[in-house]
Structure 1
Amino acid sequence: MDEVMSPGVDVQCDVEMVTGSDPDPEMDPEPEWVPGGRRLFSGLLGLNVIMLGAALMAADAYYANGQLQQGRQVFILLLLLLSVVWMLWYLLWSRKRPGRTPHTDHHAGGITITVVLVIFSAFSLFLHIFRMGYFIMMWDCKPLAEVLVPFAEAPFLALQTYFLWAHSKDCIHKHKILTRSGLMLLLSANILLWLNAVTEDTVHMEIELEKFWQNTYPDESPECQCTDHTPCLVFRKGFEILYPFNIEFYLMAGCMIYVMWKNVGRRVGKAPHEHHKHHDVMRIIRKEGILLGPLAGLLVLAMGAVSFILYQVWVSDARREDAFLVFYGYHLALIPAMSLFCLAGMITYRVEIRLHETSHNPTRSLDVRLLVAAAVGQLALSYFSLVAAMAIGSRDHLGSLDLSYNLFSLLELLLQNIFIIEGLHRHPSLNCTRTKGRLAGVIFKTNKCTKRAIQEICAFLILGNVMLWVIPAFGAHPQFENGLGKQFYGFQAWFIFVNLAQPLVVFYRMHSVRALMGLLISA
């Protein structure tokens, strides 16, 4: 995910900070009234917006019948309006000022992250269409502000996707205060929309309430029940399935906007030559004759697709238990296999005669930080599930499967992180250039065989991580339906926690794929 954030993003490069350079006529100085200069003013603006929004969300969650009953939705609508106005100003100003960004951050807004963002945006737009239909059907039971939110959020999401696609690399040197403030307002909107999506459990609570009434009072039903209308059930099911895409979109968009905010006033030279080299992974696989890893990975993808379809079809009807068996069975076959491949890769590193690179590398350091930070989601989810299992006990086979799944997930996460981080710290050149004679030939042959092994391992792990990314990204979350977490922590607390952790799980798998592709290419 080195496309998300630039390695040099922390370097402040305003004109006044560049010693010995002449002022650029295209760059405006910081006004004297700005407190502290540079980023402090916009940072304080964003902090206050986020704190106010979070306070309104807490008030709405814990005191829903008070005077601020619809305060959260009204504040979000206002924030969306201001963000749209600023983005329209920026886009119009950019069109009138060609060449307004003499500097661009070549690490930001890479093709991979942009394509993934567009995909998440497309699914999120479908989500909002389902939300619109659902709220129209439930018009009499929902507050007006809550009904209006998806109608405002959809155009905001579409406009922001185009904005990031076209301008995520910009390093603006004009109107810096206005640009930083607008970007911070946009970042605050994404954070609050993400927080709102994480904590908004109205639909899921409604489903739980309907199940309670059906089981307790089969001849009665609560008012405004969605099950009374088939179209309403369709809209609500689409809303429920596509929910994770919206959460992931705002997380990724927030990262890209943060980079843009850091890049305001930054001066960047020409892109290094290596950033223009697009390595074709498929060409490398064909050239090197890599076979076993891709074949095993394709088998993983095929079995994963079948398991995912069966899970989605069965989990909503009478075959729920079969759906959970399919889900856990697939993961308990794949995750231990990935652990063994990572272990084999770590052993291969020890056999290979290659230097260990310890020099400072900003890109590598960023990759390691993102890898470790994103792994927190899966670690927290697994450990919280294990605590619930130890407290309540796994009384049936599904509880035992869930316990085994979390244990193997922890092991695989640990081994894969070690494997990737070790690979990132390998020296790019083999350590046999100064060796002569027969020993040099032995070392060369040995390194040529660990190279092939590493490439096979990386190819399999790439496809395995792709499947582990697709399944939760497309809405297969047995932690909501099964498992002891909901029973032990309570529905609302467990719902919020899973929504906080799952986007990090998806992000971790995405970043692992990118890092493993780099290891395959550099092997």
Structure 2
Amino acid sequence: MAICILWMLFQMYFTWKNKNAVLFKDCQAGPIWMRAGIILFGVGSLIMISFKIAHTAEYKDCATPIKIMQPVTQAVFVIVQTCFLWVSCKHCVQIYLNATRCFLMVLLTVNLTIWIMLVTEESRHHTTELQEYFNINDLETNSSEHQDVNKDVKNCFCEFKCAVNDKVFIYLYPFHIEYNLFAAAMIYIMWKNVGRQIDENASFHHGLGPGVRQHVPLLGLVFGLAILITGIVMFIMYEVGRENPQKHWLPLTTFYFFHLISLVLMCLANVVGIIIFKLDKRNMDNEKNPTRTLDTVLLLLATLGQYGISYYSIIAMVSTVPFSLLCGLTFSYSLLMIFQHSLQNAFIIEGLHRLPPINLLHAHQGISHPRPVEQHDSIKRRSVPEKESRLSLASHPGNSRMQRRETLTQHIKSHLKKRKTMKDIYLFLFLCNLIFWIMPAFGARIRFDSGLEVNFYGFSMWAIITNICLPFGIFYRMHAAASLLELYSMS
């Protein structure tokens, strides 16, 4: 982290002093919601690190120097990296290419290493809580570990009032985990853009595009907020019910029904969106784009985590005798998870590869746009059908100027209806993915609390499966939400 801090400060100063260092910028890299997410999660990370520093200060007599230096260095690292990504995320560096690539890869590795450490700490904390919840005391490693921790705590005394509790950290882990993943994704795009020569106007849609300003998707907003608010209420009831095992069955069952209804609605929204894509025939943009390629790869890889945990859950439910109501709910939930992820992946990937429909509207408004260097061929291919349609209209002697205008007006109205529907779908799915990220990220382990998979696989095996697969499922929801927000702004 110290090496990366020094290099980022040097790189920002070097690119500021040397105007020839950055001659090109990738407008599709580092959109405003990615940079806003970096700041949001960075603030959460700094709050968590502050609690760690305060907790270490309370036990400073027992803390080693590295335990004090590490969170302080990490706080400086988060601040410097956030500033670096905000300033340099669009840069296509043109000098000292090998050195820049080398240090960017070191920075990427540091972020991934911190992410692995944080996921391990969070998984260990949740596993310990679940072990206490199930009253499992036959694991000698965990029992001896707890004895060592208790022994250390007995020998240490607070300098102050011990106001900072370890349990506070667990609610801030998701912010720190997502921060490092967001940073790693943006750094990878910067690494791909080193030495790349592109036109600064190569992207017609970046930032908050016209889709945000011209239409407010009330239908998607209302249904999405309903799912979001209901999910928060269900999550609170679920967490409160966990404290009372005798009355935990009702909140758990209700929580499952909420998931099933939400997943069915999300599947329907994805199907409607895919149908509209097929009806609204448009050329695909197959040009090389590191941002879009990374989005697609991350979506597909993160889906494997949810596929894995759902697959093992389905096996456990099919093998459980007798087949109870809770088994049926868990089986349906796992099956719907697989369907919803598959449909949403197809929907998002096709949306990211679709060219924006700007020629039709700009032809109607008489607006001309410069053609970028890299997308010249794709835009040329896209404009050919429109030229042919205009020539075909002009070739018929009976067609008048009014008929051509009416035909164009009908095309525009049809396009606007599809556009409004798609924006409703994008916003609805964005809010749904947001609540599906919040619940597992902040401690909802629904497949653990039912106890069905634990009884089938055993606590240790199911803990391993969950701790490996669940972090990827949580990351998938956040990344899908970011991709849907990008599609919303491009619609």
TM-score normalised over the length of structure 1: 0.68
For the pair 1:160 / 2:95, whether they are aligned, the reply is: no
Give the CA RMSD over aligned residues. Answer: 4.2
Give the structure 2 partner of residue 413 of structure 1: 341
Q: Does 1:197 align with 2:125?
A: no
Does residue 225 of structure 2 align to residue 298 of structure 1? yes
Would you say 1:457 and 2:383 are equivalent positions? no
Out of 257, 260, 263, which is 1:332 matched to? 260
Which residue number in structure 2 is paired with residue 171 of structure 1?
Answer: 92
Partner of 2:105: 184
Show the counterpart of 1:509. 477
- Is 2:349 the counterpart of 1:381? no
CA distance in 2, matches of 1:194, 1:223: 26
Compute the displacement of 1:409 (Å).
1.2
How do residues 219-368 of structure 1 correspond to structure 2 at under 5 angstroms?
222=147, 224-225=149-150, 235-272=165-202, 274-275=204-205, 278-286=208-216, 290-315=217-242, 320-321=248-249, 323-349=251-277, 352=279, 354-358=280-284, 360-363=286-289, 367-368=295-296
Is the alpha carbon distance of 1:82 and 1:491 closer, same or farther for their aligned partners in structure 2, counting shifts above 3 Å?
farther
Closer/same/farther in 2, CA of residues 264 and 520 from structure 1, 3 Å limit: closer
Question: CA shift at 1:334, angstroms?
Answer: 0.9
Q: Partner of 1:102: helix, strand, or coil?
A: strand
Separation (CA, whole Å) in 2 of partners of 1:371 and 1:266: 25
1:311, 1:141 → 2: CA distance? 38
| Alpha carbons of structure 1 residues 391 and 132: separation in structure 2 relative to 1, 3 Å | farther
2:165 counterpart SS class: helix
Q: CA deviation at 1:336?
A: 0.9
Partner of 1:472: 440
* Match in the other structure for 1:114: 35
> What per-residue deviation string (whole Å, max 9, x for no partner) do you get for residues 59-89 of structure 1?
xxxxxxxxxxxxxxxxxxxxx3333333343
Separation in structure 1 between the aligned mates of residue 353 and residue 107 of structure 2, nearest angstrom: 36
Within 2, Cα distance between the matches of 1:234 and 1:399?
A: 40
Deviation string 1:444-476 (CA, Å, 9 cap, x unpaired) is: 576665555444433422322232233334443
Q: Deviations over 1:483-506 (max 9, x none)?
A: 545555565665555454444334
Helix, strand or coil at the partner of 1:339: helix
Deviation at 1:413, TM superposition (A): 1.7
What is the distance in 2 between the residues matched to 1:175 and 1:293? 48
Q: What secondary structure sits across from 2:305 in the alignment?
A: helix
Q: CA deviation at 1:242?
A: 2.1
Find the residue that maps to 1:476 and give its secondary structure.
Answer: coil
The answer to whether the 8 Å contact 2:285/2:353 transfers is: no
Displacement of 1:383 in angstroms is: 1.7
Measured in 2, the distance between the counterparts of 1:405 and 1:425 equals: 30
CA separation in 1, counterparts of 2:346 and 2:136? 49
Matched residue SS, 2:281: strand
Residues 107 and 483 (structure 1), Cα distance of their counterparts in 2 relative to 1, 3 Å cut = farther
Indicate if the aligned counterparts of 1:213 and 1:222 stay in contact, CA closer than 8 A.
no
CA distance in 2 between counterparts of 1:396 and 1:227 reads 44
Output the CA distance in 1 between the equivalents of 2:293 and 2:130: 45
In 1: Cα distance, 2:153 partner to 2:316 partner: 32
Please show how residues 86-97 of structure 1 align to structure 2 within 5 Å. Answer: 86-94=7-15, 96-97=17-18
Which residue matches 1:48?
none
Does the aligned pair in 1 maintain the 2:31–2:207 contact within 8 Å?
no
How far residue 185 of structure 1 moved from its aligned partner, in angstroms, is 1.9
1:423 to 1:326, Cα distance in 2 relative to 1, 3 A: same
The amino acid of 2:175's aligned partner reads: F
Percent of residue pairs bearing the same amino acid type: 33
* 2:183 counterpart letter in structure 1: A
Corresponding residue SS for 1:285: coil
- Give the Cα–Cα distance (whole angstroms) in 2 for the partners of residues 408 and 472 of structure 1: 17
Secondary structure class of the residue paired with 2:262: helix
Aligned residues: 435
Task: Pick one of 43, 46, 68 that aligns with 1:125.
Answer: 46
SS at match of 1:103: strand
Who is 1:105 aligned against?
Answer: 26
Does the CA-based 8 Å contact 1:349-1:450 persist in structure 2? no
User: C-alpha displacement at 1:411, in angstroms?
Assistant: 1.7
Alpha-carbon distance, 1:208 to partner: 5.6
Matches within 5 A, 1:29-178: 80-94=1-15, 96-97=17-18, 100-135=21-56, 145=66, 149-178=70-99
Q: Is the 8 A contact 1:131 1:235 kept in 2?
A: no
CA distance in 2, matches of 1:479, 1:129: 33
Alignment CA distance shift 1:365-1:238 (3 Å): same
Structure 1 distance, partners of 2:86, 2:313, is 38
Q: Which runs of 5+ in 1 are unaligned?
A: 1-79
The one-letter code matched in structure 1 to 2:178 is E
User: Could you state the TM-score of these two structures normalised by the residue count of structure 2?
Assistant: 0.72
Distance 1:84 1:374, change over 3 A: same
CA distance in 2, matches of 1:323, 1:232: 34
Map residues 489-508 of structure 1 onto 2, 5 A cutoff: 494-495=462-463, 497-508=465-476
Partner Cα separation in structure 1 for residue 47 and residue 326 of structure 2 = 33
Contact 2:20 2:94 in 1 (8 A): no
Long gaps (5+) in structure 2: 139-145, 361-384, 394-398
AA matched with 1:381: I
What whole-Å deviation, never above 9, does each CA across 1:215-265 have from its counterpart, x for those lacking one? 89xxxx946449999986962222222223322222221122222233333
Contact 2:54–2:164 under 8 Å retained in 1:
no
Contact 1:402–1:483 (8 Å) recurs in 2: no
Give the Cα separation in 1 of the matches to 2:51 and 2:315. Answer: 36
Q: Secondary structure at the match of 1:171?
A: strand
> Is contact 2:208–2:489 with CA below 8 Å preserved after alignment?
no
**1:333 match: secondary structure:** helix
Bigger mean CA offset, 436-445 vs 102-111: 436-445
